[in-house]
Structure 1
């Protein structure tokens, strides 16, 4: 029987490096397709910012995955930030399912080789993590994440997707999440 190998994420927690993070729902299920669950995630991100400081430069919440562009606070590890966000969201979503839609829980069951099982909201592993070291990289990733809902056919214009920082970048109105645009370097600098 071949051993299953799961790709490990290499994290380079270099102080001052901006990070481009992607993490997915369990089995790429569209668990973030309802506003209720997206609000759980938004609230988890805001709560995390007070516990494990980081600047949020851009985001998009897609039905089955999330992209964040962050600048971790001094000596803050990305793994700690992600754990705080993911655990909070997962607990709230699974609790809601237990109370309101228990028949759906079997879709989130993750059986271990020893036969025990657990419910998962997020895909195992650390997702995708890339250090962004240039102004151009930051702006390319901002554009990439903002266009994600357009490429998927969810909206015609990036700023029409409520669950993204595209409109905040365009208008300065931070809804549903506050972004820290004041420290983002401009491309012409």
Structure 2
């Protein structure tokens, strides 16, 4: 298995992206969005996940984070994806969802190639981790994360998207607490 996009250092920060199979727009309803935010909060409190920046889009989640405890980032992401997969399916089944049958069938068919039996597959394999190695890269990745909803024309200003740490960096109320990054000598937030 390749380690090119896997977090291997517990002390290092990584830019990661986790994506739904087929880039299916799952996170279009508030219950699904809150499910992801609540799972991230749990990982922060109980698993040592430190989040510096994030953005939850309709089909993927960007994080700039690190593991700061006994678990590695790989273990945290494994647990996060396993838990949220079950909860996403449960929410599709229990909440009003016009695409219920289509989504369940799609996630079921995504399991057909797997060697071990599984009823549904929500997340793509892996989490595309890239180690953050310089202040320039930190600024670049946080800007990329925050600009996602602007590029998708969801909002015109990054801080107006509620499910993003752009709000934290603008000192606005937010869905998830993050460790705001201050960049060196100028003591200004990114």
Q: TM-score, normalised by structure 1?
A: 0.85
- 1:163 and 1:12, CA in 2 relative to 1: closer, same or farther beyond 3 A? closer
Contact map agreement 2:31 2:91 (CA 8 A) in 1: no
Q: Any residues of structure 2 matched to 1:41-120 within 5 Å, and which?
A: 41-100=36-95, 103-104=101-102, 105-109=104-108, 110=110, 111-112=112-113, 118-120=119-121
Distance across 2 between alignment mates of 1:7 and 1:155: 37
Distance across 1 between alignment mates of 2:147 and 2:140: 11
Counterpart in the other structure of 1:130: 130
Q: Any residues of structure 2 matched to 1:17-28 within 5 Å, and which?
A: 17-28=12-23
Contact map agreement 1:136 1:187 (CA 8 A) in 2: no
**Most deviating of 104-113 and 61-70:** 104-113
Counterpart in the other structure of 1:33: 28
- Within the alignment, does 1:188 sit opposite 2:189 as a pair? no
Displacement of 1:121:
1.6
Q: TM-score, normalised by structure 2?
A: 0.84
SS at match of 1:68: strand
Counterpart in the other structure of 2:146: 146
Distance across 2 between alignment mates of 1:55 and 1:114: 33
- Within the alignment, does 1:178 sit opposite 2:177 as a pair? yes
Displacement of 1:30:
0.3
Structure 1 stretches of 5 or more lacking a match? 1-5
Distance across 2 between alignment mates of 1:188 and 1:113: 50
Number of aligned pairs? 180
Structure 2 stretches of 5 or more lacking a match? none
Deviations for 1:92-118, whole angstroms, at most 9, x for unmatched residues? 111122334552411211213669552
Displacement of 1:84:
2.1
- 1:66 and 1:103, CA in 2 relative to 1: closer, same or farther beyond 3 A? same
Question: Quick check: which one's strand share is greater?
Answer: 1
- 1:176 and 1:114, CA in 2 relative to 1: closer, same or farther beyond 3 A? closer
